[in-house]
Structure 1
Amino acid sequence: MKGRAVLILEDEPAWPALAALMVDGRLHDLMVDPPETDRAPRLEAVHLARVIRRVEAIGAVFLDLGDGREGFLKSPRKARPGERLLVQVARHAEPGKATPVSDEPLFKGRYAILTPHAPGINVARRVRDEDEAARLRVIAEEALDEAGLSPDTLGEAAPGAILRSAAEGVDEEAIHDDVAALAELLNAARAAQAGDDAPGEIVAAPDAVTRAWRDWVDPEPDEVIRGDLRLWDDMGALDQLGALLRPRVDLGGEAWMMVEPTSALTAIDVNTGGDFSTASGLKANLAALADLPRQLRLRGLGGQIVVDLAPLTKRDRKQAETAIKRALREDPIDTQLLGWTPLGHLELTRRRERRPLTELLPRDFA
């Protein structure tokens, strides 16, 4: 299968909603909904929250998010107990911990992002044509004005917007409708904050299919295919999905790496098999680092990442750093390369944007 195809799983009662992006037959990205019984706040959901307590030592507040759920907000200002805040789930919580949230929610669409705390209409840098950028700004301004969110109406309280690169060349009506839908969500959230509602979810998180439609747009997929597990099996996606539940990742030849999450970190171990030459080790390391962001993305792993590479000389470290930096540039999840430990391990920290895949798929699937 050549090109970019989106597979959407349908009519499988024991499975969660699931969308996969296949590039030339290879699984490139994956969106999976948590089980319906899961009560954890979902990424991007907007909550009306109430401050429970402030912990001065860490400059943070703990929040009541509603339904017995607790949030954690790093806040530089003196939020008082009882104060009501509009917050957005920023990361998945580690087991037993409060959910990290942001008090600067973003409303993301297919073509635009509303930024309530950052005024002004901006266009993605990849849109280089000035006439096109001006067209996009006008469309966004008109849509916000119609929703009562223009600077003329709200002054400094007016939200800003970012026109995504995917909007370039798109029909005016589609962009207008996208901004208008986001404006409606923002107005609903602000109305709830101004009222006397109890803490709780105000704007639901987008589901897997919506996130796929929104995020896998640049470039546009060549086709969208809906079907059951048999279709996924026929297209080779099911085998690739099952492989993500196993730690071993083959790198070609005799080389492989192990991807093993623990409660403290995710450990990556690169092995060359029976060939212990320097050239073989460098080849295995470069292959592992090139594929590492994809493996972490598909497996839903974040936090601290420690990579134990096959033996390499200090002279080859630059090459290894170049390989991982190149791979990370193509990855949508924020990951920081921290450098080398005294033991020669490569350290990274990765934003926890996704739940581990092992928590989301049916237990009897392997």
Structure 2
Amino acid sequence: MKGRIIAIQPRSDGAGNMAALIEDGRLEDLMVDPAEDAGLQPGAICRGVMERPLKGQGAAIVRLPDGQRGWLREPKGISPGMSILVQVSTHAEPGKATPVTLRLTFKSRYAIVTPGAPGLNVARSIRDEEARDRLELLAREGMDGAEGLGLVLRTASEGASDEDVAADIEDMRQLAEAVLADDGKGPELLVDAPDVATRAWRDWPEPEMVAEGEAAFDDHGVSDVLHELRSIRVNLGGAAWMAVEPTSALVAIDVNTGGDTSPAAGLKANIAAVEALPRALRLRGLGGQIVVDCAPISKKQRLDVEAAARRAFKRDTVDTQLVGWTPLGHLEFLRKRERMPLREVLG
């Protein structure tokens, strides 16, 4: 089916929902609510207590609600025992403290309010001058008198009504001001991370259809793709394929030309791999250090692979940095751990 469809289906174990974004019949994104005992998730805002600095690491341990521990980078000017506001920044790896940040953001469908980062901004993807002028006026009106708060209006705001954008700005501003006014003591969850239904509404705007129910994934072909995602193999067209193998330290990508022995086989396979990589990582919920063992190519051809990778990840929704080539010819990326790996969620 053509168009954009959102399918939301309950997890089989009853632990929340799963949400899928299908565009023109192809699964493009997937989100799954974690189990109830999964701990704090990215986006949650807590009052924490500074516990102790980690000497030589430029970081500190923060005591969080329910006995959890947070890992805070560069805790300058914060003494042990102080109460601080922190936000979970990325998914915690098994057995490690939860990464948190002092830079809070309050994000909704149209507006992002940024305490400590003043300024009114409209998404650069909105290029129509009339639309930008309209949104800038809404931003000024909505943030009038807000001290120390910044605002970013997201791409989806371009097609929204003035009333909806203004309401979103007001909601996020009020939430930010309420959290920043907190003067409590001891660890406490102040704003929980959004569930997948909320995130789907927030981050996947303007669907042609929203399908809900226990058969939503079967009806739109998502269940078949979930079965395929359990395999490490990703076909790249023709004989080429790549293996996507997460380990405890990194995600290893092995690019293979298959039976293609033509002179351009390596370059074609590598370009196809980096073009397919954002979707492969996104659907599997993988992040951290990504190491691509490319098919053999010349150093000159590496520039073509880099260019293809930059184009592909520019369209992705998860922050990913191209680090560069290792002495052994591996291409490395650093990707935000925004989600729990699919294999951990579904078992």
Give the TM-score, by structure 2 length.
0.94
| Alignment correspondent of 1:344 | 329
Q: Which of these residues, 316, 322, 329, is aligned with residue 331 of structure 1?
A: 316
Q: Deviations over 1:106-148 (max 9, x none)?
A: 0001011001111122222233344433432333344445xxx
Q: Deviations over 1:328-358 (max 9, x none)?
A: 1111111111111122111111111111000
Q: Which of these residues, 209, 213, 218, is aligned with residue 227 of structure 1?
A: 213
AA aligned opposite 2:249: A
Q: Deviations over 1:266-323 (max 9, x none)?
A: 1111112222332222222221111001101111111111111122222321111111
Greater Cα offset, 320-329 or 174-183: 174-183
Q: Which of these residues, 349, 355, 362, is aligned with residue 340 of structure 2?
A: 355
AA aligned opposite 1:168: E
Q: Deviations over 1:170-204 (max 9, x none)?
A: 21221122122212321331233x2x342121001
Instruction: Provide structure 1 residue ranges, at least 5 long, that are not aligned to the other structure.
Output: 152-156
Q: 1:96 Cα deviation (Å)? A: 1.5
The alignment yields a C-alpha RMSD, in angstroms, of: 1.8
Q: Which of these residues, 297, 306, 313, is aligned with residue 312 of structure 1?
A: 297
| Alignment correspondent of 2:136 | 137
Contact conserved, 1:296 with 1:302, CA < 8 A, in 2?
yes
DSSP 3-state at the match of 1:346: strand
| Runs of 4 or more consecutive aligned structure 1 residues displaced over 6 Å after TM superposition | none
Q: Which of these residues, 243, 247, 259, is aligned with residue 262 of structure 1?
A: 247
| Aligned residues between the structures | 347
DSSP 3-state at the match of 1:43: coil
**In the alignment, does 2:99 pair up with 1:100?**
yes
DSSP 3-state at the match of 1:183: helix
| Alignment correspondent of 1:199 | 187
Q: Which of these residues, 150, 171, 175, is aligned with residue 181 of structure 1?
A: 171
**In the alignment, does 2:149 pair up with 1:159?**
yes
Contact conserved, 1:143 with 1:180, CA < 8 A, in 2?
yes
Question: Aligned pair in 2 of structure 1 residues 288, 129: CA closer, same or farther (>3 Å)?
Answer: closer
Contact conserved, 1:88 with 1:103, CA < 8 A, in 2?
yes
- The separation in 1 between residues aligned to 2:250 and 2:228, in whole angstroms, is 21
Contact conserved, 2:60 with 2:75, CA < 8 A, in 1?
no
| Alignment correspondent of 1:24 | 24
DSSP 3-state at the match of 2:84: strand
Percent identity, aligned pairs only? 52
Contact conserved, 2:291 with 2:331, CA < 8 A, in 1?
yes
| Alignment correspondent of 2:200 | 212
Q: Deviations over 1:69-110 (max 9, x none)?
A: 111111252210111111100011111111111101000010
Q: 1:256 Cα deviation (Å)? A: 1.3
DSSP 3-state at the match of 2:30: strand
